[in-house]
């Protein structure tokens, strides 16, 4: 993809330029001409000789210079034609503003323009978008009237309205943008390509994404993971709508795209290492803070405040967001003591009292910034009669310039603190109105990828000998539409993938049943094998606790039951399985479902009847790196059971990790698997055993 | 308490009035004189004949008129004397601004001024506070310079800084106050008295409280509960700091007061029916919205939007906050269809498209407001080129005036929407910048007390015959410092309170042991009874699964073990208890601890090893009404087990409710109980049985 041609084009043709004021084709032209773009601008409109003082062309092919970027704002049905012409003209990229594609159900038309762009190697932004703004070169290739200031935030949004809202807020927030893209339907260029591009863009420090669905989640995961685990990670901040079923369904009717489950997206974001905002306010706040703040080296926060109550609220927020209250060192306390009033509190939160003027703030901040126990500092000011918001702001700016520690100013007021806030903003000092939002941002600045080992960042690969054999078996079931494959086959496959399973064998005669029972060792369980029987117990197809004495009788009883209850069932035999010893260890559940948008979604959790009661489960998207598996397990409350609760032996976390790694690989190896359930998986101090397994294949 | 004299005094003496500009005693006088107070003002300062043009008095006793309210701003050590004089003068209330009392460790001085105020029947606000503002009569009896506008919010705060912050924000938020009180140390008048007063104040519509600790939690609970369950409830909104242990400890060092556990406070707020804000931003936002919005009659929300993405985010927020997306009626859809463009979405969220002008907003809102399926409406606007924020605001105002449904405007922008926002604010139309905060407020407006029955609102009373007998038993143990009372005694007390317990009896001889075993029915458990042995199992003091055959031997074995391991232990006998049948039912845990600030904290949860793993527990503060018990149980995930998970029989929720009711009464009846634990409590489909119980008494 040639994305330089989108953000730094030397020449632009606007196809659908209009003479009619307040029309999209007129607004864009006006924005291009008036907001500082220095390259060539060619309006294309067959029925006007000139628009806004520029010569207009009847077709892009008529333009007498080169055209690097085309902006298309003609009715949808004309778009294929003008894109073909643009391709012939040699355009390298196109921004299609026009609506009337996938979002209106016109999938074919959208596919047609994608094919044309691919044919001519055109990077396509849109269709159905607001356009692109590149403040750096003064290019407003959109119909939004505001040109934001140049800054270090790259902003990509699937919603045009979120674009106009943030443009409208930007001056108040004091934020600027490196690149600003309304993505529209993302028919060709999507988040993955843009992330790759923006990672290498020296003007971009933080990337903000508003997403309704990801057309290419695996590519997104791969790029985002690479960025977040690189030596120079760039923060990626995401706001994703459709978190609830109701929201997702509203989203589907709005965008024409199927949003996947939110638990799936949450796993994707966790594994990708992106920061998720839960509300629009959070999103804007993160962008603002990340654009300006230095990233902290650790999680120890010091609070300097002129008010006790707000200091306590800040301390609460620090703890609730998983950060630590820094323990102020004795050296610092010794330095502060003689210079602050006796009623001050020198332990964190450091309360320099309501009558603190600039000198007290300055001295405390200068001193605390040197404390080795402190990674970041929140300077909190409430408007008191002695407060000096302006010169205190100047001190904060000076000290911030000289340190690589994170300093966030919280100016908790409006009227009296206005000017101070303005000075902080002008000097790019991160600041908020309330302490909680400062702390929340701070908590997101701690990069969880910092101290990971090479091993943790890798997807472990397991050598599987009989992969092609399994492939054949599964294809065969799939072809015969036998999608819920037999239990013994599921167990067989898991065995080949290195899972420990119960001993089993299929008997076809009474005599075989006896001999197998003897071989496996009593007691055993017998279960009917038939593609026509889904709920085996319901038809008398399962007998437990069988010994050698009643092996024959049990075999015959099952066949009799089935013959009576499902006379037409085709019988493959009777499965004889070792009975599990449930006394040792705990039952977990490991499974996989297929998300319509994200594909395989792997699941692990505490099993038994508690699955439904405590819903203690975690999700992941294969391929899972070691750290992903560790994070999944660590997020379970039942992790305590693995670690050994109330004097019980710890269970083998290592083997559970191994199991999830193998499962991840199995799912990558066989995309035809629709669902897989190991329930229960018995985890003991030194083993992990599949007690029951079920695999369902995708319908072809 | 005579609180009218605080808010509507005819005359005020300022004791400690000062000639020195920017001193507290000068600022207050200036505020009193210049901000509209019409009553008499008497500065008291022995060393100045006149201050700010007012005659100054050497003592309050010298004042020639009556003095209804005194404001005290003299050093702490002089406060008792001036309060005594004020009492002699006949002052009805006092606002003590002076610091240097409990918060500095001077508990005696604080007690002294409380006693004086009680003696003279003076309502005391403070000490250590910012003062009181009553905008209605233009009285600024504080050293905060801002007089907020008169409005319907009563605001009480333990933190002066939170007061100055909200005063500084108020103009921007457009909010006004009926009464504004900095509570300081709350030595005499606290939240409970003020709530009572404000409930009857016709100018107050919503009450906001910032709390660090409640000096009198039971009184607060009683008043707040009465207000929130009355026919005309007033919303009470609380921001409480010290939610974390670290925050609480910072708070303790700041206020000198011990904050109770947050789970206790959360229970208190839940039972009181108050609305808790989690952050300062939430707190201000709730106050703003509650001051202006009509309370919705139900939870069905309609969304009208000019933008799809933000509409979806709003729908997400609706669901996540426990509200419902209204199903738009066919009648409404039929009315909307011919009047909106075909691309509009007429199902909720109703998307009237980006080019919607005022007419489309007006028509949609007028139509949707009549829909019987709709309780509240969020009107969402993003700034698009065709958007008409000002005249749309006017339409919203007009329609809001004519309906009793809740309408909240979300104007998602700054520059372009500024004027429209201003008009909404001037006309007291609830509005926010972002949809999530509007929805969050809306969700808090649904009063959970609306449909409760009389029975649910009552504390059930159980007739206990032998209360005075138990009182004697417990007093006796307490007197002898035998605080962890014997298990059999705990079980005995529970039995008298109507709990079903295991059969038990104490044996003092081998022969008795045999006979009791026979009476109870095998198998039984034997346990040593000795005040000197806490951990019975560790010294061989417990034997399980005893039958008649080994009853004698077991009795002797326990005595031998104890004689060997704890030779000096005083032995009361051996407790013989029925063995429980654990096969049926589930183990719960019911307990009580004593919170340093809130007193008894009752607890119920799912038991066994899962207590520590899943921490599925709920808390309550006795006395518990039926609805409190129901809410506690409903908040448990293990409620699903009570209801019968995966085809298992439901367990007796009724009997568990009964158990918690009896426990609540037991704790009210015997305040000397420090801790009580029933673990496990076996809950079966038709019984609830105490399998083990432990009671610890408070040290006297």
Q: CB distance B165–A383 less than 8 Å?
A: yes
Measure B628 CA to nearest chain A CA, in Å. Answer: 22
Q: Residue B539: which domain range?
A: 503-579
Q: How far apart are CA A547 and CA A517, in angstroms?
A: 7
- As a dihedral over the C-alpha atoms of residue A125, residue A127, residue A130, residue A133, rounded to 10 degrees, the angle is 10
Query: In the predicted model, what is the mean pLDDT of residues A70-74?
Result: 98
Q: What's the DSSP call for residue A108?
A: H
How confident is residue A306, by pLDDT bands cut at 50, 70 and 90? very high
Provide the H-helix boundaries in A403-445: 418-426, 435-445
Domain for residue A14, yes or no?
Answer: yes
- As a dihedral over the C-alpha atoms of residue B29, residue B32, residue B38, residue B39, rounded to 10 degrees, the angle is -50
CB A131 within 8 A of CB A143: yes
Residue B555: both structure tokens together:
């009795």
Q: How far apart are CA A584 and CA A568, in angstroms?
A: 41
Encode pLDDT of A144-153 as tens digits: 988 999 999 9
Helix (H) or strand (E) holding A510: helix A510-520
| CB proximity list for A45: less than 8 A, separation 6 or greater | A16, A17, A18, A19, A25, A51, A56, A57, A58
Encode pLDDT of B507-519 as tens digits: 999 999 999 999 9
Encode pLDDT of B404-444 as tens digits: 999 999 999 988 999 999 999 999 999 999 999 999 999 99
Q: CB distance A638–B613 less than 8 Å?
A: yes
Q: How far apart are CA A298 and CA A374, in angstroms?
A: 8
User: Over pLDDT 70: what percentage of chain B?
Assistant: 99
Q: How far apart are CA B46 and CA B78, in angstroms?
A: 13
Q: CB distance B251–A384 less than 8 Å?
A: no
How confident is residue B450, by pLDDT bands cut at 50, 70 and 90? confident
Domain for residue A299, yes or no?
Answer: yes
Measure A56 CA to nearest chain B CA, in Å. Answer: 25
Q: State how many domains chain A has.
A: 5
Q: Are A644 and A523 within one domain?
A: no
Q: Are B136 and B238 within one domain?
A: no
Query: In the predicted model, what is the mean pLDDT of residues B454-483?
Result: 95
Domain boundary among A265, A292, A319: A292
Q: CB distance A637–B615 less than 8 Å?
A: yes
Q: How far apart are CA B561 and CA B537, in angstroms?
A: 10
User: For residue A255, what pLDDT is reported?
Assistant: 63
Name B682's bridge partners: B587, B689
Q: Are B458 and B592 within one domain?
A: yes
Q: CB distance A384–B347 less than 8 Å?
A: no
Residues 212-271 of B with CB under 8 A from A: 212, 239, 241-247, 250-251, 253-255
Q: Are A63 and A123 within one domain?
A: yes
The yes-or-no verdict on residue A304 having pLDDT over 80 is yes
| CB proximity list for A195: less than 8 A, separation 6 or greater | A207, A220, A223, A224, A227, A236
Residues 663-692 of A with CB under 8 A from B: none
Q: Are B564 and B656 within one domain?
A: no
User: For residue B254, what pLDDT is reported?
Assistant: 64
Domain for residue A83, yes or no?
Answer: yes
Encode pLDDT of B133-192 as tens digits: 999 999 999 999 889 999 999 999 999 999 999 999 998 888 999 999 999 999 999 999
Query: What sign for the dihedral angle of Cα B567, B568, B569, B573?
Result: positive
User: For residue A1, what pLDDT is reported?
Assistant: 72
Domain for residue B402, yes or no?
Answer: yes
Encode pLDDT of A624-643 as tens digits: 999 999 999 999 999 999 99
The closest alpha carbon to A696, from A486, A514, A495, A541, belongs to A486
Name B587's bridge partners: B682
Q: CB distance B415–A171 less than 8 Å?
A: yes
Domain for residue A285, yes or no?
Answer: yes
Domain boundary among A292, A316, A343: A292
Q: Are B329 and B432 within one domain?
A: yes
Tell me the average pLDDT of chain A.
Answer: 94
Encode pLDDT of B282-333 as tens digits: 999 999 999 999 999 999 999 999 999 999 999 999 999 999 999 999 999 9
In chain A, the largest separation of any two C-alpha atoms, in whole Å, equals 101
Q: CB distance A308–B254 less than 8 Å?
A: yes
User: For residue A258, what pLDDT is reported?
Assistant: 60
Chain A residue numbers touching B311 (CB-CB < 8 A): 250, 254
The closest alpha carbon to A363, from A410, A408, A395, belongs to A395
Q: CB distance B165–A246 less than 8 Å?
A: no
Q: How far apart are CA B284 and CA A663, in angstroms?
A: 49
Q: How far apart are CA B50 and CA B38, in angstroms?
A: 19
Q: Are A164 and A284 within one domain?
A: yes
Q: What counts of helices (H) and strands (E) characterise chain A? A: 24, 31
CB A126 within 8 A of CB A82: no
Q: How far apart are CA A94 and CA A74, in angstroms?
A: 13
Q: Are A384 and A468 within one domain?
A: no
Residues 526-545 of B with CB under 8 A from A: none
Q: Give the domain CATH number at A373.
A: 3.40.50.261
Q: Is A299 on the interface with B (CB under 8 A)?
A: no
In chain B, the largest separation of any two C-alpha atoms, in whole Å, equals 101
Encode pLDDT of B16-72 as tens digits: 999 999 899 999 999 999 999 999 999 999 999 999 999 999 999 999 999 999 999
Domain for residue B162, yes or no?
Answer: no
Q: How far apart are CA A272 and CA A191, in angstroms?
A: 13
Residue among B162, B246, B310 minimizing CB distance to A319: B246
User: For residue A153, what pLDDT is reported?
Assistant: 97
Q: Is A357 on the interface with B (CB under 8 A)?
A: no
How confident is residue A617, by pLDDT bands cut at 50, 70 and 90? very high
Least confident window among A284-293, B168-177, B307-316, B609-618: B609-618
Chain A residue numbers touching B388 (CB-CB < 8 A): none
User: For residue A533, what pLDDT is reported?
Assistant: 86
Q: What's the DSSP call for residue A508?
A: S
Chain A residue numbers touching B244 (CB-CB < 8 A): 315-316, 319-320
Name A527's bridge partners: A542, A575
Q: How far apart are CA B414 and CA B658, in angstroms?
A: 56
Q: What is the ipTM score, two decimals?
A: 0.92
Closest residue on chain A to B643 (Cα): A613
How confident is residue B258, by pLDDT bands cut at 50, 70 and 90? low
CB A19 within 8 A of CB A26: yes
Q: CB distance A343–B382 less than 8 Å?
A: no
Q: Are B68 and B216 within one domain?
A: no
The yes-or-no verdict on residue A316 having pLDDT over 70 is yes
The yes-or-no verdict on residue B458 having pLDDT over 70 is yes
Q: How far apart are CA A199 and CA A195, in angstroms?
A: 6
The closest alpha carbon to A1, from A120, A135, A131, belongs to A120
Query: In the predicted model, what is the mean pLDDT of residues A95-117?
Result: 96
Q: Is B414 on the interface with A (CB under 8 A)?
A: yes
Q: CB distance A164–B384 less than 8 Å?
A: yes
Q: Are A8 and A91 within one domain?
A: yes
Residue tagged 């504390």 (tokens): B459
Residues 489-518 of B with CB under 8 A from A: none
Chain B residue numbers touching A169 (CB-CB < 8 A): 413-414
User: Over pLDDT 90: what percentage of chain B?
Assistant: 86
Q: Is A641 on the interface with B (CB under 8 A)?
A: yes
Residues 619-638 of A with CB under 8 A from B: 637-638
Q: How far apart are CA A92 and CA A120, in angstroms?
A: 8
Q: Are B30 and B64 within one domain?
A: yes
| CB proximity list for A399: less than 8 A, separation 6 or greater | A362, A365, A366, A369, A407
Q: Give the domain CATH number at A573.
A: 3.30.1490.20
Angstrom CA distances, B474 to B465, B528, B678, stand at 16, 21, 18
Helix (H) or strand (E) holding B371: none
Domain for residue A143, yes or no?
Answer: no
Q: Are A467 and A528 within one domain?
A: no
CB B473 within 8 A of CB B493: yes
Q: Is B171 on the interface with A (CB under 8 A)?
A: yes
Angstrom CA distances, B583 to A470, A609, B580, B610, B684, stand at 43, 15, 9, 17, 10
Residue among A165, A250, A278 minimizing CB distance to B312: A250
Measure B434 CA to nearest chain A CA, in Å. Answer: 7
Distance of alpha carbon B693 from the chain centroid: 30
- Between B601 and A22, where is the model more confident? B601
Domain boundary among B224, B258, B292: B292
Domain for residue B427, yes or no?
Answer: yes
Considering the entire predicted model, what is its pTM?
A: 0.92
The size of chain A, in residues, is 700
The yes-or-no verdict on residue B613 having pLDDT over 70 is yes
Q: What's the DSSP call for residue B57?
A: B
Closest residue on chain A to B307 (Cα): A161
Query: What sign for the dihedral angle of Cα B308, B312, B318, B319?
Result: positive
User: For residue A167, what pLDDT is reported?
Assistant: 94
Residue tagged 């599949």 (tokens): A690
Give the mutation candidate from A613, A633, A651 for the B interface (greatest B CB count, under 10 A): A613
Least confident window among A253-267, A457-471, A508-522, B193-207: A253-267
Q: Give the domain CATH number at B485.
A: 3.30.470.20
């Amino acid at each position: 993809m040639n994305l330089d041609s989108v953000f730094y084009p030397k020449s632009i043709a606007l196809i659908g330029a209009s003479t009619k004021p307040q029309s999209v084709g007129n607004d864009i032209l006006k924005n291009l001409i008036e907001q500082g773009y220095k390259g060539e601008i060619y309006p294309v409109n067959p029925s006007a000789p000139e628009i806004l003082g520029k010569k207009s062309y009847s077709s892009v092919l008529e333009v007498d210079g080169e055209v690097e970027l085309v902006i298309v704002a003609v009715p949808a049905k004309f778009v294929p034609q003008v894109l073909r012409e643009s391709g012939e003209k040699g355009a390298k990229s196109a921004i299609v503003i026009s609506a009337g594609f996938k979002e209106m159900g016109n999938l074919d038309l959208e596919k047609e323009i994608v094919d044309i762009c691919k044919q001519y190697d055109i990077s396509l932004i849109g269709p159905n978008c607001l356009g692109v703004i590149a403040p750096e070169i003064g290019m407003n290739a959109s119909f939004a009237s505001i040109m934001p200031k140049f800054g270090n935030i790259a902003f990509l949004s699937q919603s045009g309205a979120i674009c106009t809202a943030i443009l409208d807020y930007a001056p108040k927030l004091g934020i600027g943008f490196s690149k600003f893209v309304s993505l529209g339907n993302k028919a060709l260029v999507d988040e993955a390509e843009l992330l790759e591009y923006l990672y290498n863009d020296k003007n971009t420090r933080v990337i903000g994404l508003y997403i309704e669905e990801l057309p290419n989640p695996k590519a997104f995961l791969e790029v985002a993971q690479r960025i977040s685990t690189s030596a120079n990670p760039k923060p990626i901040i995401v706001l994703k709508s459709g978190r609830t079923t109701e929201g997702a369904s509203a989203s589907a009717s709005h965008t024409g795209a199927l949003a996947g489950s939110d638990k799936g997206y949450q796993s994707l974001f966790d594994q990708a290492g992106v920061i998720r905002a839960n509300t629009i306010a959070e999103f804007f706040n993160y962008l603002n803070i990340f654009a300006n703040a230095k990233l902290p080296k650790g999680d120890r926060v010091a609070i300097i405040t002129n008010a006790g109550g707000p200091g306590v609220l800040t301390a609460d927020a620090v703890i609730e967001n998983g950060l630590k209250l820094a323990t102020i060192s004795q050296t610092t306390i010794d330095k502060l003591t003689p210079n602050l009033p006796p009623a001050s509190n020198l332990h964190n939160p450091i309360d320099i009292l309501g009558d603190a003027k600039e000198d007290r703030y300055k001295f405390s901040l200068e001193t605390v910034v040197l404390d080795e126990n402190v990674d970041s500092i929140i300077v909190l000011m409430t408007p008191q009669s002695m407060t000096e918001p302006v010169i205190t702001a100047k001190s904060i700016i000076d000290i911030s310039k000289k340190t690589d520690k994170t300093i966030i100013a919280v100016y908790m007021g409006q009227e009296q603190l206005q000017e101070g806030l303005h000075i902080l903003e002008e000097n790019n000092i991160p600041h908020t109105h309330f302490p909680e939002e400062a702390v929340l941002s701070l908590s997101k600045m701690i990069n969880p990828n910092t101290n990971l080992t090479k091993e943790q960042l890798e997807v472990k690969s397991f050598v599987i000998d009989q992969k092609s054999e399994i492939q054949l078996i599964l294809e065969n079931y799939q072809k015969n539409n036998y999608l819920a494959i037999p239990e013994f086959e599921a167990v067989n496959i898991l065995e080949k993938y290195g899972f420990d399973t119960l001993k089993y064998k299929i008997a076809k005669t009474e005599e075989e049943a006896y001999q197998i029972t003897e071989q496996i060792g009593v007691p055993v369980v017998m279960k009917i094998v038939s593609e026509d029987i889904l709920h085996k117990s319901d038809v008398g197809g399962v007998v437990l606790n069988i010994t050698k004495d009643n092996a024959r009788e049990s075999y015959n009883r099952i066949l009799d039951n089935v013959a009576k209850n499902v006379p037409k069932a085709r019988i493959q035999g009777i499965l004889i399985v070792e009975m599990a010893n449930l006394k040792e260890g705990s039952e977990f559940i490991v499974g996989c479902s297929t998300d319509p948008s994200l594909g395989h979604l792997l699941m692990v959790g505490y099993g038994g009847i508690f699955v439904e009661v405590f819903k203690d489960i975690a999700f992941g998207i294969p391929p899972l790196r070691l750290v992903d598996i560790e994070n999944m397990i660590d997020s379970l409350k039942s992790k305590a059971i693995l670690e050994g609760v109330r004097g019980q032996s710890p269970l083998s976390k290592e083997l559970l990790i191994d199991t999830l790694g193998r499962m991840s690989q199995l799912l990558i190896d066989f995309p035809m698997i629709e669902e897989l359930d190991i329930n229960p998986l018995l985890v003991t101090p030194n083993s992990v055993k599949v007690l029951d397994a079920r695999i369902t294949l995708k319908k072809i």
